[in-house]
């Protein structure tokens, strides 16, 4: 389904993110978790794209497997770094032929083994350029769906780490939306006030597309530290840190604290009419399924998606 249709069907979308497995053992674990999460009937799932396209083929393989062997609607990530127009065109064509209806257009990072990579040779200097190219692909009628690819972009409630000027940052986000983005999916955050302020600033800037909130439950202290590194500056509220400190010697207690915090975040987001919640699953299922149960989402979501399938 095109993202417009998904958003029209669900008052609040619920979605999951996966990353491509690199080993057979990782693949088996992921597909077991996908089976468990598929039962929750999410609105869609997304698949990440490694720095500089380093997981290009793995991403493609996972997206096609999800499309062909599950009921899930996969949204592949695409990045600007290390890509030519011909390469992006080829990727889009393969996805279009496979019936994939949406993509998430990102700036991306250079591969770790190319730390001094010069981006001047890249065809797309900014995510807005990639959005514009995908939109032109749609306008050429290259996608079999009349609407072409739905296009998502990233948003940063706590601020983009590479753009300390917050006014300029909002200009960049608006440029992505004006280039043709259909929705925004945010980076993870742990204080909902950051999301609500971000939502208001978008409205003031004339950004009217739906905003989907990114949530990542903390399940271990080591994972939290990796999360902080990957997010390049995630803010952990003092109340959360105090609770984690109290549980620090008990891994199961740490996990319970993280799931409780994420549950309360999601409950508050639902109460405040957030347009969607996107779970960064880290290819696991336990935390997300527990949050579903805590919120009473599992049965209602299943009924909603079943009714939608029957209607179509």
CA distances 224 to 28, 113, 244, 268, 275, Å, are 24, 25, 10, 22, 26
CA gap 231, 229 in Å, rounded: 6
User: How many other CB atoms are found less than 10 A from the CB of residue 264?
Assistant: 14
Taking phi over 0 as left and psi of -120 to 50 as alpha, with beta for the rest, 159 belongs to left
Catalytic residue flag (residue 97): no
* Among 227, 294, 301, 285, CA closest to 264: 294
CA distances 259 to 58, 217, 224, Å, are 30, 6, 13
Annotated catalytic residue, options 17, 169, 200, 264: 17
CA gap 289, 307 in Å, rounded: 21
| Active site residues per annotation | 17
């Amino acid at each position: 389904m095109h993202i417009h249709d998904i958003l029209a069907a669900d008052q609040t979308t619920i979605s999951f993110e996966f990353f491509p497995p690199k080993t057979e053992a990782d693949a088996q674990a992921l597909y077991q978790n996908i089976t468990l999460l598929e039962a929750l009937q999410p609105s869609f799932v997304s698949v990440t794209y490694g720095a500089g396209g380093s997981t290009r083929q793995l991403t493609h393989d996972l997206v096609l497997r999800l499309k062909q062997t599950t009921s899930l609607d996969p949204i592949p990530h695409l990045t600007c770094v290390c890509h030519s127009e011909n390469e992006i065109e080829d990727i889009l064509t393969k996805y279009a032929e496979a019936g994939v209806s949406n993509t998430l257009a990102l700036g991306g990072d250079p591969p770790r083994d190319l730390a001094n990579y010069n981006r001047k040779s890249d065809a797309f200097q900014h995510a807005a350029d990639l959005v514009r190219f995908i939109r032109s692909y749609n306008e050429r009628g290259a996608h079999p769906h009349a609407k072409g690819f739905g296009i998502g972009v990233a948003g940063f409630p706590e601020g983009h780490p590479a753009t300390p000027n917050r006014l300029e940052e909002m200009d960049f986000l608006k440029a992505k939306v004006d280039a043709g983005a259909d929705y925004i999916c945010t980076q993870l955050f742990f204080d909902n006030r950051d999301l609500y302020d971000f939502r208001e600033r978008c409205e003031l800037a004339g950004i009217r597309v739906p905003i989907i909130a990114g949530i990542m439950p903390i399940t271990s202290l080591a994972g939290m530290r990796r999360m902080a590194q990957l997010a390049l500056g995630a803010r952990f509220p003092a109340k959360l840190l105090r609770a984690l400190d109290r549980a620090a010697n008990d891994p199961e207690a740490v996990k319970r604290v993280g799931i409780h915090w994420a549950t309360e975040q999601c409950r508050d987001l639902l109460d405040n009419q957030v347009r969607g919640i996107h779970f960064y699953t880290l290819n696991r299922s336990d935390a997300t399924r527990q949050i579903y149960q805590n919120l009473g989402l599992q049965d209602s979501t299943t009924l909603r998606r079943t009714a939608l399938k029957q209607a179509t």
